[in-house]
Structure 1
Amino acid sequence: MSLPQSRHSIMIVGEAWGREEAEAGQPFAGYSGKLLRSMLRHAGIDYQSCYVTNVFNFQPEGNKLEALTGPKAEAIPGMPQLGQKMWISKRYEPELDRLWAEVETVNPNVILALGATPLWALSKNLGIKKFRGTPILASDGKHKILPTYHPAAIGRQWKLRPIAIADMQKARAESLFPELRRPRRFIYLEPTIADIEWFYERYIKDAPVVSADIETKQGTITEIGFAPRWDRAIVIPFYDHTTNGSYWPTPSEELAAWRWVQQICETKPLVGQNFSYDLQYLWAKNHIKTLEVADDTMILHHAMYPEMEKSLGFMGSIYTDEPSWKFMRADNETLKQED
């Protein structure tokens, strides 16, 4: 088996050869390759400077991965199913061994995983829509992956093209360093009234603008989050999820917490996501006015890119390096105050 001898900062991994690739004996020789090179140019990446390979360096029968599947009992040990009842046969385990040997030899700063198959092979994760756009660690715990859509999928759904280009721009930035970097944030949970006052004086009082978010349940506000900085936020709860009652032990403390919410909303310009939804609860349920809505991130994004999704999760995948919110819960520390 011939392996690369030089190091590339970006490694690109596709799915398998098609007819043109099989004839040329190299990956991305056909239409998908032409589309890939075009998107890389728009992202500022030189295709020739990348190391390019596939999970399966051959053409499956009928260009269908289903041709590589078999019963679960005969699947590659330790690997999940690739799709619904799609267990890749252990006959093709040497292809994964070859891929990992390439990864070790190339030792790239980032691997651009094009589609569900390289995401599966390199991280054992499923769901390209869920994972695309965010750097994650490969299953070896050492190499960094940035998944995005495969050019063949983009050829069928052209609206995915600007999303993939944005992901490739992230890959270019990630190629400057090998480690997985996450922004370090401090979120203050389960506060006392004294904690809220302390946080207000230290972070909110002099902030020019404050980001706000409201969670509701059955028409009632359950908690409100305020972030005066990108790395500092506080959550003021009003509902105890363990008892289904009030978070605050006494009515007077709950009233004091609402007074702090009122002071922040009526004295600080606010930024929110789909904030018109939040405003109705503040006014209709609690008669709290807002000084000013400085910006609505959903409306701003939709005005600039009306063809794209506008959910908070999708926007996070485009504008930040944060993983999907549901993957963050086990990784965050809970702090009440700083020394």
Structure 2
Amino acid sequence: MGRGDLNSRIMLIAEAPGRMEDEKGIPFVGRSGEILDELLKSVSLSRDEIYITNINKCHPPGNRDPEEAEQQACMPFLKYETALIRPKIMVCLGRIAARKVIATGFRISREHGTWIERKGFFLTAVYHPSALLRDPSKVEETRRDFQEIKRKLEELSQ
């Protein structure tokens, strides 16, 4: 299971815990967690106000991308979390989460920050914080995506 506010209107969904996350049982620790915290802070949000989870509940061996069978095995847990939390906004962190939750052909480089409404949920995707470590040039557009997420949250709160 993920972590955070069980009454949150925002759910962040990543692909799988990293080695440190798996060991500590906490999503987004280490440098990628610091980047996520900075992005949240930039729009006056904190981890206390959101719910963070992963598609896969275990760290894939060798830090590889989760295989389709592994993702499928964990999807009932994500569906349960979604039913429990009932967020209005679901934000996929990275390509793998976006392709599993939004659309199999989702192109993060082209479609990040766009909205799709499905079954009463507003879905979007942003670059994964670890991608920002590898390519800092994506930080500003990710900040803008988070500003749009905050705007959507305020719109839905009216």
TM-score band by shorter chain is 0.7 to 0.9
CA contact (8 A) 1:16 1:58 kept: yes
CA contact (8 A) 2:2 2:54 kept: no
CA contact (8 A) 1:3 1:102 kept: no
The structure-2 alpha-carbon separation of the partners of 1:156 and 1:4, relative to structure 1 and needing over 3 Å to count, comes to closer
Q: Secondary structure of 1:27's partner?
A: coil
Q: Secondary structure of 2:123's partner?
A: strand
CA contact (8 A) 1:9 1:109 kept: yes
CA contact (8 A) 1:135 1:146 kept: yes
Look at both structures and tell me which one has the larger radius of gyration over its CA atoms.
1
User: How many angstroms does 1:171 deviate by?
Assistant: 0.7
Q: TM-score, normalised by structure 1?
A: 0.43
Percent identity among equivalent residues?
25
**1:52 is aligned to 2:31:** no
- The aligned counterpart of 2:77 is 98
Structure 2, unpaired ranges of 5+? none
User: How many angstroms does 1:2 deviate by?
Assistant: 9.1
- RMSD value, Cα: 2.3
CA contact (8 A) 2:21 2:29 kept: yes
- The aligned counterpart of 2:112 is 132
Q: TM-score, normalised by structure 2?
A: 0.88
CA contact (8 A) 1:113 1:148 kept: yes
**1:20 is aligned to 2:17:** no
CA contact (8 A) 1:112 1:146 kept: yes
- The aligned counterpart of 2:124 is 146
CA contact (8 A) 1:108 1:178 kept: no
The letter for the 1-side match of 2:99 is W
- The aligned counterpart of 2:137 is 159
The structure-2 alpha-carbon separation of the partners of 1:160 and 1:3, relative to structure 1 and needing over 3 Å to count, comes to closer
Looking at structure 1, the residues matched to 5 and 135 of structure 2 have their Cα atoms a distance apart, in angstroms, of 37
Aligned pairs (5 A) from 1:1-339: 6-65=6-65, 68-69=66-67, 88-89=68-69, 91-125=70-104, 126-138=106-118, 141-178=119-156
Looking at structure 2, the residues matched to 17 and 58 of structure 1 have their Cα atoms a distance apart, in angstroms, of 6
User: How many angstroms does 1:47 deviate by?
Assistant: 2.1
Looking at structure 1, the residues matched to 74 and 129 of structure 2 have their Cα atoms a distance apart, in angstroms, of 21
User: How many angstroms does 1:136 deviate by?
Assistant: 1.1
Looking at structure 1, the residues matched to 143 and 2 of structure 2 have their Cα atoms a distance apart, in angstroms, of 31
The letter for the 2-side match of 1:9 is R
Q: Secondary structure of 1:16's partner?
A: coil
Q: Secondary structure of 1:176's partner?
A: helix
Larger relative contact order, structure 1 or 2 (CA cutoff 8 Å, min sep 6): 2
Looking at structure 2, the residues matched to 93 and 20 of structure 1 have their Cα atoms a distance apart, in angstroms, of 23
- 1:194-233 Cα distance to aligned partner (Å, 9 max, x none): xxxxxxxxxxxxxxxxxxxxxxxxxxxxxxxxxxxxxxxx
